[in-house]
């Protein structure tokens, strides 16, 4: 599933192509994604694109009347293409622009979503989200405040979007290894000093992944079709049963919250 770095890479990829353009028409070939594509989006005609932003794992295309929200789900990809490029089997939505190009959403599994947020409103999917991890609002004090009453494993709390958005499974594994914290450790047991280290490595890990174009494991590719190269930098994720790159101990793999969790029983405490 594309995580925050992959969504941010997609935002960076499409923004130069959408700046100062007009959205001429929306072509919806498959309306039933995770949720039904709203009528407001299908009806859009000749609208100026005011900008592109990201909140958590949602991309927002800003228009005068509101915002188009795009979630890539488990297998979604966005591509910029010439306007008359024939669609493939899983090319579900095209946004046609005024310069004979289009933004195309491909989603094999159809777990992604395209939603509408009217001007002045906040979509229910964006309500009650925690801070963005790469902003000054994500601090050790904020993390400890949210950890102190939680007995759940720290990895699960770190992945809670009400605590901080966008720290998905891959990057939670990597950050906890770099911070030398066991993913199974109860969140409330972390000290402020440990939270300070964890905040720093979360920021560093996500920023590095964005710089590398994200992580391609199976479906994700950048807007230009290239894979994300952060996979080559993964220290624990996907390496269960292999030697720790830091100490040589065999990495342990288990499931937390139905997600694969890999850690070093020697380096992480």
Helix residue spans in the chain (DSSP H): 4-18, 39-42, 140-147, 154-158, 169-178, 192-211
Could you confirm whether 119 is annotated as catalytic? Answer: no
| Contact indicator for 41, 26 with CB cutoff of 8 Å | yes
Tokens 């188009």 sit at which residue? 68
- Of the candidates 11, 54, 55, 57, the residue annotated as catalytic is 57
Could you confirm whether 226 is annotated as catalytic? Answer: no
Annotated binding-site residue? 34:
no
Could you confirm whether 255 is annotated as catalytic? Answer: no
Per this entry, what is the length of the chain? Answer: 269
| Contact indicator for 104, 68 with CB cutoff of 8 Å | no
d(CA 18, CA 21): 5
Give backbone dihedrals phi and psi of 40, rounded to 5 degrees, phi first: -60, -35
- Of the candidates 3, 6, 8, 132, the residue annotated as catalytic is 3
| Contact indicator for 268, 254 with CB cutoff of 8 Å | no
Could you confirm whether 124 is annotated as catalytic? Answer: no
**R_g of the chain computed on alpha carbons:** 20
- Of the candidates 22, 110, 185, 259, the residue annotated as catalytic is 259
Annotated binding-site residue? 150:
yes
Contacts of 195 (CB under 8 A, 6+ apart): 140, 141, 143, 144, 147
Work out whether strand 76-82 and strand 113-118 pair parallel, antiparallel, or are unpaired: unpaired
DSSP letter at 191?
A: -
Contacts of 228 (CB under 8 A, 6+ apart): 5, 6, 9, 209, 212, 213, 214, 215, 216, 220, 221, 222
Decide: helix, strand or coil at residue 63. Answer: strand
Annotated binding-site residue? 45:
no
Which residues carry a binding-site annotation? 90, 109, 150
Catalytic annotation, residues: 2-3, 57, 259
Which residues carry a binding-site annotation for DNA? 90, 109, 150
């Amino acid at each position: 599933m594309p995580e925050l770095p992959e969504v941010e890479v997609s935002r960076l990829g499409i923004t130069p192509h959408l700046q100062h353009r007009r959205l001429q028409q929306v072509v919806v070939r498959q309306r039933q994604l995770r949720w039904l594509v709203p009528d407001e989006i299908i009806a859009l005609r000749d609208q100026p694109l005011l900008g592109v932003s990201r909140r958590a794992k949602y991309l927002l295309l800003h228009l005068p009347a509101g915002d188009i929200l795009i979630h890539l789900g488990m297998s979604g990809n966005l591509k910029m293409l010439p306007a008359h490029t024939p669609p493939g089997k899983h090319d579900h939505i095209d946004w046609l622009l005024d310069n004979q190009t289009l933004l195309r959403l491909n989603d094999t599994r159809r777990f992604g979503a395209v939603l509408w947020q009217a001007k002045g409103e906040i979509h229910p999917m964006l309500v009650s989200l925690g801070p963005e991890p790469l902003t000054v609002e994500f601090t050790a004090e904020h993390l400890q405040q949210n950890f102190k009453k939680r007995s759940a494993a720290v990895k699960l709390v770190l992945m809670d979007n009400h605590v901080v958005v966008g720290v998905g499974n891959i990057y939670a594994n990597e950050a906890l290894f770099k911070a030398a914290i066991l993913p199974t450790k109860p969140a409330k047991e972390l000290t402020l000093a440990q939270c300070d280290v964890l905040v720093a490595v979360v920021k560093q890990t996500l920023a590095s992944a964005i710089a590398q174009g994200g992580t391609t494991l199976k479906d994700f590719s950048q807007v230009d079709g290239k894979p994300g190269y952060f996979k080559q930098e993964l220290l624990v994720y996907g390496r269960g049963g292999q030697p720790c790159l830091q100490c040589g101990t065999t990495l342990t793999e288990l499931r937390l919250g139905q997600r694969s969790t890999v850690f070093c029983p020697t380096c992480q405490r």
